[in-house]
Structure 1
Amino acid sequence: MRPPLLRRVALATALASGTPLAAQEAPAPAPEALAVTASSELRQRAEALGAAIAGSIPYDRYFAPSFRAAIPEAAFRQVRDQLTGGLGKPTRLEALVARTPHVADFRLGFERGTAVGQIVVDPAAPHLVTGLRITGSEPREAPEASVQAVVDAIRALPGATGFALARLEDGGPVHLVAHDSATPLAIGSTFKLVILAELVRATAAGERGWDDTVALDGSPLPGGGYTGRPAGTHVSLRELATQMISVSDNSATDILLRALGRDRVEAMLPVIGIRDARGRNTPFLGTLEAFKLKGVEGGALGQRWEAADIDGRRALLDGAVAQAPVSTIPASLFQDRKPIRIATIEWFASADDLLRVMDWLRRNTEGPAGADARAVLSRNPGIAPANAARWDWVGYKGGSEPGVVNMTLLMRARSGGWVAMAASWNNPQAAIDEARFIALINKAAALSAP
């Protein structure tokens, strides 16, 4: 799940897809035959990037007006907080490779990992930054030497955890290693796999087409790429699904949920293997609804949700929740990194449930007809490129909010065999160490490759 109004890119996503902070595209690299040296202005700004990310340099004294117009400071802070929340404080510039005297690729060290990207400075004084793109981030490699050691480390984390690694066979998933894998936990944006599954079912049945379009109707949306688009804009189901899965776009998610129908998405829960289908997952929430339940009136709507049965919750969604303006969600929601009602207002699945979900997606996307869905699922592999390269194909969805993180993977070995892995960590008492968790799942993905 992501905070309202502002697009927030999860650290797990950033491992494989660029965080869109660029306000100016860089020119093409210079020919290799020509030596390129970074200007002193470029090097100075790159050396100060860590301080800019840490917030010790005023935004308007580091970034040019053109950048600030494209990327408001509040949006920059969201990405900055996500990076530092997972990787710790910036430490030093580790590498700078010039493309032109005023454009360079960089590698920036953090306490618990690194980030890579590209920086562009204005050739004219005062040489402010006109472009910045974070193209990837990686936590420090976990020291564990076996999958079992990874599982033991996950078991030792504070709060509740679940993990399962399984070989996918004709009869279903067969555990290779597991820890508390049958207990449902909050999974954050991994719930979006259920919406994808309904789209896969509907397209396979001929009820929908990947290139069918949805006309935006002006309904309120959470933060994302479609929030500011005018009513009447047409967007394809393919584009919405791709954005929902690859960068966890909340606005795309809520549009797709409405287009496919909440009732149909709920009907898919038991079909794809989520055992607690009629419990905490019904009614099946959209992201904006969840934000309202957690944030409006200090959580008063959430209290009503917790006290209601399924019919009462549906009435609440159709009434008070739908009527609450987006502006009533506090801008500070999630800013303090304290978990909010993660045991009651979330989406829930066990590690075993998620193995079954990925197995259903695997079986229902075989052959040419499934190419569209697999392209969506594999757009962001969720793990570091070196670890993904150990596999022939990787599909992924993860999710997080304060106190919650999940990573779920579907992987095909070069030999053709399939493996699925799902891991969750919930801590209602404190924010979790996402970088540590991501490092552990990366290590498990690397170690489990044949």
Structure 2
Amino acid sequence: MKRFAILLLLALPPLAARAQVAPAYQARADQLMTLLVSDGAEKDFFSDLFLTAVPVEQWRALTADLRRQYGRPLSLGSVRQNGPTAGQVEIRYERATVGFTLVVAPQPPGRVIGLQIVGARQADDNMIKIINDIDALPGQTAFAIARLTGSGPQWIASRDPDRQMATGSSFKLYILAELARAVEAGDRRWSDVIPLSHKSFSGRLLAYPANAPMTLHSLATAMIAESDNSAADTLLLALGRDKVDAILPRTGHAKTDAALPLLTTAEAFALKMPANATLRQSYAGGAPDERRALLRDNAARLDAKAVDIGSVAETPAHIDSLEWFASPKDEVALLDWLRQHGGDALPIMAVNPGIAPADAARWRYLGYKGGSEPGVMAMNFLTQARDGTWYAVTGSWNNPAARLDEPRFVALMTRALNLLAETSR
């Protein structure tokens, strides 16, 4: 799917606030259909605020692009409201159904102040096409879908599911799993308070005072929903690296020698710094216990202060040797373990669904954690269909030679989820 400009100008209210479609909202949905068929009446439809951000010519270029990709718009599909001013609209084209978020001004005449394309379901789509499209991406990819049952995962579709991939911040799911295990065992409580002791680059908590008191639940939510690195590093070291490392074989990781020890984000990116090239080579060539000793002996050199984030922000840096590694089968096993033992970790995973609200709404439950950095992207979903069936959907894309087209990968994974949701009804 081609990249589109983001047109959303207003945050949407939560899906739980869904209401019946009001006549005024329905009228704007009908008018959207008309505008997608042919140019004209944009100034009556859009607010001045919207047209300042997205001029008429830009809007017309986007609608022409949609017609080139998917053919003529044929009819208005489903219209759903999340609240008085916001909701989702589907338009059926000749070759796909395209979803939009639509936000109208609360005051008359209710012109549109926010509009975003949130995905397209191709009319003739199938899982083989999706997997082939993922496989065609430059670099290496791996993908798997499994139905989660009491007797273990039942594989629905996969491509190279045993391939160990760099997965970026997906490793934070292992920290969450160890926290859930400790709570289930009675060793910890979600309400326990610890200091924010290991701040790392990026994330909201980086601006918090050092050693700010935080509950384990608050740290876990920031770590998963916002991928906050300070929360992840604090939790990893507070829970104990040895215990978090032990959760990998417990949850079914097949090749722990390549994955352990789990690095903090500060350690990982400090090791990528040019000044630490010798340490990096020793770490990459060592066994797990030798790596643990290296981290221990060089702790002062491997903290966040050693990281020049600009030097690793634009191009892939050592992603094939210094990363967090897991295969799709490993990720499915981890998601299945969390399904059975996660407890309050499951609502945390559902705070940020990783895909557009209209697509997430197809599921009774959708939990997500992904990871991305230059050359690395992974998306991991734990889902429950409307009929109660549980699934794990996971995919990874690595390219050590170039940055990735992240919206393209999101679109491919969204297609897989939407197709699975339709076949699970």
1:188 to 168, 173, 185: 168
Distance (Å, rounded) in 1 between the aligned partners of 2:218 and 2:353:
18
Between 296-305 and 309-318, report the one with greater CA deviation. Answer: 296-305
Q: Is the contact made by 2:120 and 2:415 (CA closer than 8 Å) also made in structure 1?
A: no
Superposition map of 1:39-438 within 5 A: 46-47=53-54, 98=105, 106-107=113-114, 138=118, 145-217=125-197, 219-277=198-256, 279-297=257-275, 299-324=277-302, 326-336=304-314, 338-365=315-342, 370=343, 372-438=344-410
Structure 2 letter corresponding to 1:364: H
- Please state how far the C-alpha of 1:296 moved relative to its aligned partner: 4.8
Distance 1:228 1:388, change over 3 A: closer
TM-score for both structures, normalised by structure 1: 0.68
Alignment root-mean-square deviation, CA: 3.2
- Please state how far the C-alpha of 1:232 moved relative to its aligned partner: 3.9
SS in 1 for 2:189: coil
Unaligned runs of 5+ in 1: 1-10, 20-31, 52-93, 115-137
Higher helix share: 2
- Please state how far the C-alpha of 1:339 moved relative to its aligned partner: 1.2
Cα distance per residue 1:90-147 (max 9 Å; x no partner): xxxx99855689xx985477xxxx5xxxxxxxxxxxxxxxxxxxxxxx4666787011
SS in 1 for 2:308: coil
Cα distance per residue 1:36-81 (max 9 Å; x no partner): x9997x5686358xx9xxxxxxxxxxxxxxxxxxxxxxxxxxxxxx
Distance 1:362 1:326, change over 3 A: closer
Distance (Å, rounded) in 2 between the aligned partners of 1:180 and 1:381:
25
Structure 1 letter corresponding to 2:307: I
Distance (Å, rounded) in 2 between the aligned partners of 1:186 and 1:361:
21
SS in 1 for 2:273: helix
Distance 1:296 1:228, change over 3 A: farther
- Please state how far the C-alpha of 1:382 moved relative to its aligned partner: 1.3
* Count of aligned residue pairs for this structure pair: 341
Distance 1:381 1:206, change over 3 A: same
Distance (Å, rounded) in 2 between the aligned partners of 1:421 and 1:325:
34
- Please state how far the C-alpha of 1:300 moved relative to its aligned partner: 4.3
Q: Is the contact made by 2:143 and 2:161 (CA closer than 8 Å) also made in structure 1?
A: yes
Unaligned runs of 5+ in 2: 12-23, 25-44, 59-100
Q: Is the contact made by 1:403 and 1:426 (CA closer than 8 Å) also made in structure 2?
A: yes
SS in 2 for 1:280: helix
Distance (Å, rounded) in 1 between the aligned partners of 2:164 and 2:322:
13
Distance (Å, rounded) in 2 between the aligned partners of 1:297 and 1:106:
49
- Please state how far the C-alpha of 1:299 moved relative to its aligned partner: 4.0
Cα distance per residue 1:415-439 (max 9 Å; x no partner): 1111111111111121121111110
Structure 2 letter corresponding to 1:287: T
- Percent identity at matched positions? 42
Partner of 1:61: none
Distance 1:317 1:296, change over 3 A: farther
SS in 2 for 1:209: coil
Larger RCO (alpha carbons 8 Å, 6+ apart): 1
- Please state how far the C-alpha of 1:375 moved relative to its aligned partner: 0.9
Distance (Å, rounded) in 1 between the aligned partners of 2:157 and 2:274:
42
Distance 1:223 1:319, change over 3 A: farther
- Please state how far the C-alpha of 1:281 moved relative to its aligned partner: 1.4
Distance (Å, rounded) in 1 between the aligned partners of 2:129 and 2:233:
39
Distance 1:331 1:186, change over 3 A: closer
Q: Is the contact made by 1:293 and 1:300 (CA closer than 8 Å) also made in structure 2?
A: no
